[in-house]
């Protein structure tokens, strides 16, 4: 004979387990989407044509400078806000960050 409190206790524990399982699945799907985006961007980069030695010689005296820049792309929402950047001539700069942090948007500003 199964007592009613035992059935209720079991049902509550099962519900908690199912909820945790669904949260793990959703979190895993989010990670899969981020990973797919990263792989797609790397593949796109790897398929670009190779540059020659002469492509890097630049004797320019100018540099890139952005002070408190705000940028958007056709809508009213500001995509990049209060951007400050200074790149001196003939310096190598790496732009790094997590997926969705604005790296590609910043590159679009510079191009």
Say if residue 20 is in the same domain as residue 63.
Answer: no
| Token pair belonging to 99 | 């997926």
Instruction: Provide the number of structural domains found in the chain.
Output: 2
- The whole-number pLDDT of residue 60 equals 62
Look up the pTM and report it.
Answer: 0.43
Cα angle 88, 61, 109; round to 5 = 55
- pLDDT in 10s for each residue of the chain, 111 residues: 556 677 777 777 888 887 887 788 887 777 888 888 889 989 998 898 887 777 766 666 668 888 999 988 877 788 889 999 888 887 888 889 888 888 888 888 888
Say if residue 39 is in the same domain as residue 81.
Answer: no
Say if residue 72 is in the same domain as residue 98.
Answer: yes
Say if residue 67 is in the same domain as residue 96.
Answer: yes
Range of the domain at 99: 54-110
């Amino acid at each position: 004979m199964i007592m009613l409190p035992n059935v209720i206790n079991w049902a509550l524990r099962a519900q908690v387990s199912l909820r945790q399982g669904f949260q793990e699945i959703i979190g895993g799907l989010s990670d899969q989407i981020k990973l797919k985006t990263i792989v797609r961007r790397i593949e796109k980069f790897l398929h670009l044509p190779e540059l020659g030695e002469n492509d890097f010689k630049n004797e320019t005296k100018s540099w890139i400078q952005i002070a408190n820049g705000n940028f958007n792309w056709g809508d009213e929402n500001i995509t990049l806000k209060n951007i400050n950047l200074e790149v001196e001539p003939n310096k190598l700069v790496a732009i790094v960050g997590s997926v969705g942090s604005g790296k590609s948007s910043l590159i679009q500003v510079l191009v």
